Every structure is written in structure tokens, then in C-alpha cells.
Structure 1
Amino acid sequence: MGADHSAFTVMVVDDHPIWRDAVARDLAEEGFTVVATADGVGSARRRAAVVKPDVVVMDMRLSDGSGAGATAEVLTVSPSSRVLVLSASDERDDVLEAVKAGATGYLVKSASKGELAEAVRATGQGRAVFTPGLAGLVLGEYRRIARNPGGGAIPSLTDRETEILRYVAKGLTAKQIAEQLSLSHRTVENHVQATFRKLQVANRVELARYAIEHGLDQ
């Protein structure tokens, strides 16, 4: 990538044709190159394998499965892609599953065209896009994991990561948190990304443990 961050390639995955076309059109108008669209898990996987998009804008409800499932499939065939989840606000558990599957960003569908463009740009640059609701979800999930007996293999949050997520959950921006804690804006974002990565690791550990406990590894 050169200096022109708006030139990221994007794939839009949504099972509503009108919404999908509108998002694709909006992003094209903002200078992104929309290289593919898909309406489900299967088509998202097939197209991502061919076009290897920089950013995938992912709906949570698809014709043949979930956005979390599609996120995992896309990242299997195109590991360098980054996934931004677009979700209706009532799909919180699904959003958490998408983050566990590897999504690095989350935006509500009511976001403006400008907010969407900025979120896609940030995602393409490898920055975590998150909301107060998502920060609260992540904190809650770590509390649940911490209560899980025999959870020694699952990474826990550092005090600093917990502190930053609490600030995000209260509605502070990364810039405001950086000022409050005398950190750089980038450091704050790195801490948030670290929690996302830990959640993905925790998810893999939990899946492996579930498989072993239920004899699925035989």
C-alpha cells in the first residue's frame, strides 16, 4: 500500500441486495475499490479466495449462516484480509462471536456514510474499530472466562487493558483515553487490539477444551 489509504480493496457481504448495493456504492464514492460482493458464507469464502480483499464489510445475518461463520471462512482463505462487522444493535452475542472468529472492527448499521468510510479506512490500516457496547461485551466475556474452572491456559487481560476497555465502555474515544492516561493514541489502540487477539486465542482454547471434553478429538 502507498500513502493513499483510501485505495483499499473491499468486499461487501450482506444478504439484502438493496443494502449491499448501497454500501458498495457509498464506499466506491469514498474512493475505495469494491472488488466483490457476496450474500452468504459460501459465496464470501469463494470470492475472498479469489480477490483477497484488504477489508471485508460483514453483515451478521446471512442467507446460509452467520457473520461470525463467514468471518472465520474468509480469514481461512484470505488470512491477510481484515473484517469489519456491520451489525444491527440487537445482535450483541453475534458480534462477540465475530470478534472471536477474527473480526477487528464493529460498527452499527445506523452509522453515517462518513463513519463507515472512516471505519473501513481504519480497519484497512490495521486499527481496531470498536464501540462502547463492544468494549463492555469483551469485558463481560473475560469475566465469564475467568470464572471458568481450569481456565489456566486462557490469557487474561492486563490491568492496563482492563482499564482502557472500561474507559471505552463509558464512551470515551481512544484520543480522550490517551490524554487521560498520558499514553499515545496508538498505544491505546494497540491495547484494544491485544484484547481482541486474546479473545480469539481464548476462543480457540475453549473450542479445543470442548472438543476434548466431548470426545470430539478421537
Structure 2
Amino acid sequence: MVVDDHPIWRDGVARDLTDEGFEVVATADGVGSAGRRAGAVTPDVVLMDMQLPDGTGADATTAVLEVSPSTRVLVLSASDERDDVLEAVKAGASGYLVKSSSKAELVDAVRATAEGKAVFTPGLAGLILGEYRRMSAEPDPGHLRPSLTDRETEVLRHVAKGLSAKQIATRLALSHRTVENHVQATLRKLQLGNRVELTRYAIEHGLDG
């Protein structure tokens, strides 16, 4: 799915991706429409602009991931400002490309994002790494989970206690699938590979109490 408020740009990107064999299942021009359409089509990858008429790309990323937790968001923005990049990543974006990237770079980035890889325009990856290192030195655990919802944090606490998804579902009166969706969304947001790493993370940050 392609989210951008400029029709010519949006349609051009969608056409380029279609020419490369991707299926563009929807387009959207703002935060509201991005959330609605992602909920209807559950796209594998969303290409997200940062400047939208009714909010930011970070707002739209949050809206998309709330209704489709398995979706991976790749920001494609004219801005390479530090705050924009960090805001997008904290909202759950998997990667960040600037619009000056070539068509080949965009196509490669979409493929890599679909495979679960984090893709950043050169120079931005170091910025993200530096920010995560800074956050890991923060004593306040609230700063370490800037993008987790209350429900995701609640599920994470139960994971830290060694409960299975089925046990967590029973305890929180949720479906097994909903719990798994929250776990997968949390893994993605925290850049972790599996439940073992997630459990270690939770214990290190005092969430097993």
C-alpha cells in the first residue's frame, strides 16, 4: 500500500512497483484513510510519506499497525531530519528512505522490508543505532519502550513471566491470535528476533515483576 498526499507521486510509485511485479492493494492520502484501508486489505508492506494533511507519517504508521500488526512500514520521505526519522521508528516503522533514492533502491528496499529486514538510507542507520544506545543507558524504562501500547506492554509482562500465548490469552480474555499479533508487533518495534530475546529484554527492564 502506498500512502502519500500527492497524487502524481503516489500513482507514479504505485506504477513503478506494479511494473516490478508487486501487487499494490491500496493507496491512501492521509492518516485516516491509511488506517481504514490497512484494516481492510492488511498489506505486507506500506510505503509511508511523513508529511500528510491530517497528521504525520508516524501517526499514520501507528494507525496502520493498530489494525494490521503484521504489516511492515517503510517510510519514503523528502525529509532526512533526525526528529522525523526517530519519530517514524518509534512509531514502529521498519525502515526509512529519502525520496531522492533511485527506483532500483526503492524496489530493493521494498523487497528487503517484506523479508523482515530494516532498511535505511545510508547515514540514517547510524543515527538510529546511536539513539537506541542512548535510550538503553536511560534509567527510566518508560523511555525504552517509546512505541509500545499499554496492551503490548501488558502482554510483554506476561511473556517475561514465562507464560505461553495460550495462557496469556486466557488470563487477559483475548484470542490466541490477538496475543500472537501483539507479540509480533512488539518484536518488530523492539528490533528483536524471537521470544527468547523478548523475554530477556523484558527481564532486563524489570517487566517480570
What's the TM-score once normalised by structure 1's chain length? 0.63
Of residues 127, 133, 140, the one that matches 1:151 is 140
User: For the aligned residues, what is the CA RMSD?
Assistant: 2.6
Which residue does the alignment assign to 1:28? 18
Aligned-partner residue type, residue 104 of structure 2: G
Deviations along 1:82-103, one digit per CA (max 9) or x if unpaired, are 0000022443311211111111
Equivalent residue for 2:190, pick from 172, 197, 209: 197
Alignment partner for residue 97 of structure 2, among 107, 129, 148? 107
What does residue 86 of structure 1 align with? Answer: 76
Alignment map for 1:176-195 (pairs within 5 Å): none
Instruction: Answer yes or no: is 1:119 the counterpart of 2:109.
Output: yes
Deviations 1:3-53 (A, max 9, x none): xxxxxxxx0000111100110010000110001000000000000000000
Q: Is the 8 A contact 1:155 1:198 kept in 2?
A: no
Q: CA deviation at 1:142?
A: 3.4
Partner of 1:54: 44
Shift of 1:57: 0.3
Deviations 1:38-90 (A, max 9, x none): 00000000000000000000000011000011001100000111000002244
SS in 1 for 2:100: coil
Task: Give the AA of the match of 2:43.
Answer: P
> Of 112, 115, 124, which residue of structure 2 is paired with 1:134?
124
Q: Distance in 2 between matches of 1:196 and 1:61?
A: 21
CA distance in 1, matches of 2:29, 2:40: 16
Aligned to 1:159: none
Secondary structure class of the residue paired with 1:83: strand
Give yes or no for contact 1:72–1:101 (8 Å, CA) kept in 2: yes
Q: CA deviation at 1:127?
A: 1.1
Gaps (5+ residues) in structure 1?
A: 1-10, 157-193, 202-218
Q: Count how many residue pairs are aligned between Structure 1 and Structure 2.
A: 153
State the AA in 1 paired with 2:34. A
Q: Distance in 1 between matches of 2:188 and 2:63?
A: 22
Return the alpha-carbon distance in structure 2 between the equivalents of residues 81 and 196 of structure 1. 12
Task: Tell me the percent identity.
Answer: 72
Aligned partners of 1:105 and 1:129 also within 8 Å: yes
Identify unmatched segments of 5+ residues in structure 2. Answer: 146-186, 193-197, 199-209
